[in-house]
Amino acid sequence: MKNPNAPEGEGQDFFIANTADSGTRFAYDIYDIPAASISAGSESRNSGAAAGSMGCYLCGFDAEDECMEGTLRLDQSQLGSLPAAQIIGEYSGQMAFYFQVEKKHND
C-alpha cells in the first residue's frame, strides 16, 4: 500500500495534506496491530525498510475469510514546533492498496 501522490524520493510515502495549503502536511504511520496494542517499542510497517514501487507490505492471508486489524497513527511530534494557525484546517490524503494472488500448493 502507498500514497500514489507522494513525491518521489522524499521517503514520506504516507501523509495527509492541508487542503488549502498542500505544503502543510503531516506523516502518519501504519501499524498491523490495533491502536490499543501500540507501545513505545512498536514499529510501524512503513518505518525502517524503504518502500518498494507498490509501497510497504501490510499483510498476507492464507485462508478464506481472514481479516486483520490495523491502525493509522499521526506522528504528533510533528505538531509541537508549529503555530496553531498553521495546523488548523481540513486535511486529506490518499492510500492505494495493491494485491497479488498466488496459488497455494499443498504438496
Task: Write down the pLDDT at residue 9.
Answer: 55
pLDDT digits (tens, 9 = 90+) for 16-27: 888 988 888 888
Selection from 19, 27, 24 nearest residue 87 by Cα: 24
pLDDT digits (tens, 9 = 90+) for 70-85: 888 887 888 888 888 8
Q: Where are the domains of the chain?
A: 1-101
What percentage of the chain carries pLDDT values higher than 70? Answer: 78
Confidence of residue 90 (pLDDT cuts 50, 70, 90): very high
Q: What is the layout of strands, in order, in the sheet containing 91-92?
A: 71-74, 25-31, 15-18, 91-92
Other CB atoms within 10 Å distance of the CB of residue 13: 21
